[in-house]
Structure 1
């Protein structure tokens, strides 16, 4: 018989969304148990791992990966955790550790624009949300205060605000200053809103420009889910790491009565609670629901609509690298300092995907060195080329909206991990809405390059898009139980005491990194659990 634990509320997943909500619930007086499949980690160990790793471009490499709570790993070869059904491979990066994937993120913290919540009504594409921007705006404020978000007041013209940012924006790098000034006649370049301190905040220092925000800020100036998890425990949440949930139980009426998890010795535990919250990501949460199929719910829990795992979305990107006609010195300051917001919304959305354009400030030394060596340069010629190109190379990319498509989905794969649990399997592709948006992005890149005197233009390969690890959909909220998994507060339509807090509940993903919106939704769901909505 499995050992039995109990709490008022059990939260599965210790990332930003689950941890912030667990904290809020515990502060309101509930007993909260939070389960995390992965291990505890420490910043000093991850910084050491990063500095000694030969795979600097692999954001996941410094983090401990286990066969008992595996996550995708692609270097030096694919670890095979994710299975592909095609036609296009989907290769996300995420972590299973205490604090979740936001350990290795850029902490970008844009809000949606108001029209993002009604693109079906406004533009005839995608689907509308069951809530509005105004419904979520107070929770955006709440999340920004907890994170410590810095940003420019000009951002309010795109996403209206009832309160100012907690902090002023991080100081501009030289690259950002020059790009902003030179593009001003045509494009408004704004410093990014981000969970990164521009001054001492919440006991953490200001950003000092290390330029390796991804995969780890070495001084803790950048917000992470590790901070969220710590704050939850300080509020009284009991956190159990290395706890891999594999099944939910229910009664005859569909109420969830218990969940089961394995520790890394494959000892089984049973947890009973009044309220159950799934706060793993948009891949691992549908996996749990599908694994929990029963005689009453043969297609998995919360899946009477048949949409669990469907409508998988990410932000596909293409890119351009070129040499500016003056030294801009990338490599000092945040890696992703600024962006163009004005192409995120407009009537064109009825024809092609909207997008944000991001400017990279990452050091270019490694890439231009490899390029020059491949050209056969040596000695002084090599040294001169590295110095010149590293000072002038600029990389830009888009973050482009992908519409929900039920054929893009997460399923249970045929393979099994070390605990005998199914691996995730994907079916994934892009439609013409994406392709047309990529064409519009490329035209904007050309204009930007021309304004900056660009030479040596290097476009990414046509039709080959990178993804941004913004895993959304698969648990979409909506008012209609036949077409959605959860209602407007994240409660499963099929199970009155089961809630979901994840980027998965987002019906669309717009053009901004998804975690701030998901955090706001999670804080709103916590209020619903507490009876405040």
Structure 2
């Protein structure tokens, strides 16, 4: 048993980030063992779960909840797995199964801008990264090749090589937004996504099902389940239902082993040479804090006291309106295009930057529910559904939050079914965010005018949606006094412990964090291989 539970590299977490790091290392000849806390579920089952779900708008509903590896659930009621300490609710959603949360993502695979890594130097806010865009650029390209990323070349982020494929075919809604907003000075570009526009890596091109979230039914969209499969094909071994509850160190501070429970709470010990903590930005700090010892009383990798701190995400406000022409959202990808000109500028010293995302999700269900709630029925209901579902549009922002040490993940005094402490979140949003939200609302109004919009419905002031882009809780930096890991993702405190997660990002920027996390993990994997 001990021989079986040992490897050159032990990876905790089988999501897209950890699995692609594992794939790289296994392909280079290392023995790799992946430990995943949740069960293995095949795509056909998840698609069937979605089709049978009574809550089509709940993107978590197709994904199984396991008592031994719980994740937050909010519908039909909050399961209180993620304990809210306020003052602002941070209701993060993530999935704990083989492949992780990218089973239900929008597949947006953006690069950050070079200036995003230098906002302290340029604008006097946030933090600078310990690495440059040039350090990361080749790993971005490697990640894009592995994931099959398509996109418009003029998306603002420099690149040395082209995308693996052209963008997915433009929807009619996207075309009309682009044409009508151009005279107002808004450039609408096709989103950069890990979604096939042609047959790629044995998977088909997007056929426009319009349920990219919660799952692509044909696998045109990349996800962590594919990453886990690739890692196993490269030689990695994956153990599902392995709930790591403690990381063990030796007397010199090197990591010696990890301990996990199976669903029946039998315990196992896994040894290795190098360890990669690849859970998300909530579960990773939770595990480090759970692993406190006499030598490391505040948890592992936490000599700086910053494990779990500087939690960030991308809050959103939004506008729903009726365009003056029929656009029929619902044909093609759900999130096809965006406005990117507001991601950077001198204004970042005063308020948050943001990207404006244009939704193409079908409006039939929301329109129908709203009309029925108003008492509309019969022939008029049919007529009104056709009219409004063809014209109703939605836009939102993806807004940068700056690191704040008071926004943090800690251990609560409440336990899950295996007796492991549930995470507790402290979260607040400041004027930097509120000013950015106000600026976005002004742009929404102009956009609606250009689209001939009527019946404008803004989201309530101070009430923001959450985009589940969990960053910052394992921040990288050059100074061990104020960061958790170095520029390679290696713990300042434990030389054979690396972290591969969106949590290592020191700032959140204005784009979905997955591609950046994968690129950082591939850079970590190269460093591990070079120093093996």
Given the two structures, how large is their TM-score scaled by the length of structure 1?
A: 0.99
The alpha-carbon deviation at position 372 of structure 1 amounts to 1.3
Change (3 A) 1:392 1:532: farther
In 2, distance between residues paired with 1:311 and 1:447?
A: 34
Give the equivalent residue in structure 2 for 1:27.
27
Distance 1:75 1:230 in 2: 30
In structure 1, the residue matched to 2:89 is 89
Query: Structure 1: how far apart are the matches of 2:126 and 2:491?
Result: 22
Looking at structure 2, the residues matched to 222 and 180 of structure 1 have their Cα atoms a distance apart, in angstroms, of 24
Tell me how far apart the structure 2 counterparts of residues 495 and 361 of structure 1 sit (CA, whole Å). Answer: 46
Q: Determine which of 165, 169, 172 is the counterpart of 1:171.
A: 169
Q: How does 1:496-515 map to 2 (within 5 A)?
A: 496-515=495-514
Give the SS at the match of 2:268: strand
User: Are the aligned partners of 2:2 and 2:270 in contact in 1 as well (CA < 8 Å)?
Assistant: no
- Within 5 Å, give how 1:337-486 maps onto structure 2: 337-486=336-485
Q: How many angstroms apart in 2 are the aligned matches of 1:477 and 1:15?
A: 20
Native 8 Å contact 1:4 1:269 kept in 2: no
Q: How does 1:5-404 map to 2 (within 5 A)?
A: 5-155=5-155, 158-185=156-183, 186-404=185-403
Distance in 1 (alpha carbons) for counterparts of 2:528 and 2:512: 26
**Does the 8 Å CA contact 1:2/1:268 hold for their aligned counterparts?**
no
**Aligned-partner SS, 1:395:** strand
After TM superposition, which residue ranges in structure 1, 4 or more long, deviate above 4 angstroms?
Answer: 1-4
The 10-residue stretch of structure 1 (382-391 or 2-11) with the greater mean CA deviation from structure 2: 2-11
Map Cα deviations across residues 44-83 of structure 1 (whole Å, 9 max, x no partner): 1111100111111111110111110001111111111110
CA distance in 2, matches of 1:432, 1:3: 55
Instruction: State how far apart, in whole Å, the 2-side matches of 1:379 and 1:10 are.
Output: 61
State the shift of 1:375 in Å: 2.0
In 1, distance between residues paired with 2:159 and 2:127?
24
Give secondary structure in 1 for the equivalent of 2:530.
coil
Unaligned runs of 5+ in 1: none
How far apart, CA to CA, are the structure 2 residues paired with 1:315 and 1:213? 20
Deviations 1:265-306 (A, max 9, x none): 111000111111100000000011000000010000000000
Alpha-carbon distance, 1:532 to partner:
6.7
SS at match of 1:153: coil
What per-residue deviation string (whole Å, max 9, x for no partner) do you get for residues 374-411 of structure 1?
Answer: 22212122111110000000000000000000000000
CA distance in 1, matches of 2:381, 2:330: 20
Q: Distance in 2 between matches of 1:221 and 1:143?
A: 17
Secondary structure of the structure 2 residue equivalent to 1:317: coil
**Preserved contact between residue 3 and residue 270 of structure 1 (Cα < 8 Å):** no
CA distance in 1, matches of 2:55, 2:217: 17
Per-residue CA deviation, residues 183-211 of structure 1 (Å, 9 max, x unaligned), is 01210000001000000000000000000
Alignment partner of 1:530: what SS?
A: helix
Aligned counterparts of 2:495 and 2:73: Cα–Cα separation in 1: 37
> Structure 2: how far apart are the matches of 1:46 and 1:510?
32
The secondary structure found in structure 2 opposite 1:322 is: strand
**Residues 95, 433 of structure 1: CA spacing in aligned structure 2 closer, same or farther, 3 A cutoff?**
same
- Shift in Å at residue 490 of structure 1? 0.3
What TM-score, normalized by structure 2, do the two folds share? 0.99
Write the deviation string for residues 460-509 of structure 1: whole angstroms up to 9, x where unpaired. 01101111000111000000000000001000000010000000000001
Structure 1 SS opposite 2:434: helix
Query: CA contact under 8 A between 1:2 and 1:267: conserved in structure 2?
Result: no
Moved more, 315-324 or 374-383: 374-383
CA distance in 2, matches of 1:375, 1:36: 47
2:523 match = 524
Contact 2:339 2:355 in 1 (8 A): yes
